[in-house]
Amino acid sequence: MERWAKAGLRGFAALALALALALAMPLGATSEGERVDPLTAEVELDDAIRFAALFEQTAGAPDAAQIQQRYLDPAGRAVTIFTPGRIKNAEHLAATIARDPEGYRDAITRCLPWVRGTEPDLRAIYLAYRGLLPDLPLPRIAMVFGAGNSGGTAQADMQVLGLEVLCRMAPDEAAFRRLMRSFYAHETVHSFQRLDRSRLERDPLLASAIAEGTADYLALLVTGEIPHPERNAWAEARADFVWAEFARDVATAGNAALGERERYDALRRWIGNAGSAPEGWPDELGYWVGMQIAAGYVANSPDRRTAIRELLRFKDPQAVLAQSGIVLAPPEPVPGS
The tens digit of pLDDT for each residue in 8-39 reads 334 555 555 455 434 434 333 444 445 799 99
Please, what's the b/e burial string for 173-185 (b: 16 or more CB within 10 A of its CB; e: otherwise)?
Answer: eeebbbbbbbbbb
Could you tell me the strand order of the sheet in which 43-44 lies?
43-44, 140-144, 158-162, 152-155
Percentage with pLDDT > 90 across the chain: 79
Rounded Cα distance, 273 and 267, in Å: 9
- Please give the single-letter amino acid code of residue 126: Y
pLDDT at 16: 53
pLDDT at 324: 98
Confidence of residue 334 (pLDDT cuts 50, 70, 90): low
**pLDDT tens, residue by residue, 220-262:** 999 999 999 999 999 999 999 999 999 999 999 999 899 999 9
Confidence of residue 330 (pLDDT cuts 50, 70, 90): low
The residue ranges of every structural domain in the chain are 26-192, 197-324
Rounded Cα distance, 334 and 337, in Å: 6
pLDDT at 216: 97
Rounded Cα distance, 146 and 92, in Å: 10
Rounded Cα distance, 181 and 222, in Å: 10
3-state secondary structure of 43: strand
Residue 85 vs residue 72, higher pLDDT: 72
Give phi and psi for 109, each to the nearest 5.
-85, -30
Closest CA to 150 of 194, 206, 92, 234: 92
Average pLDDT score, the chain: 89
CB contact set of 155 (below 8 Å; sequence gap of 6+): 22, 25, 81, 139, 191
Closest CA to 116 of 163, 80, 58: 163
Give phi and psi for 204, each to the nearest 5.
-65, -40
What DSSP designation does 71 have?
I
pLDDT at 154: 86
Alpha helices of the chain — where are they, by DSSP H? 11-23, 46-57, 64-67, 77-82, 90-99, 101-106, 119-132, 163-168, 173-192, 197-202, 204-223, 229-237, 239-253, 260-268, 285-299, 304-312, 317-324
**pLDDT tens, residue by residue, 121-158:** 999 999 999 999 999 999 999 999 999 988 888 888 99
**pLDDT tens, residue by residue, 148-202:** 988 888 888 999 999 999 999 999 999 999 999 999 999 999 999 987 777 677 8
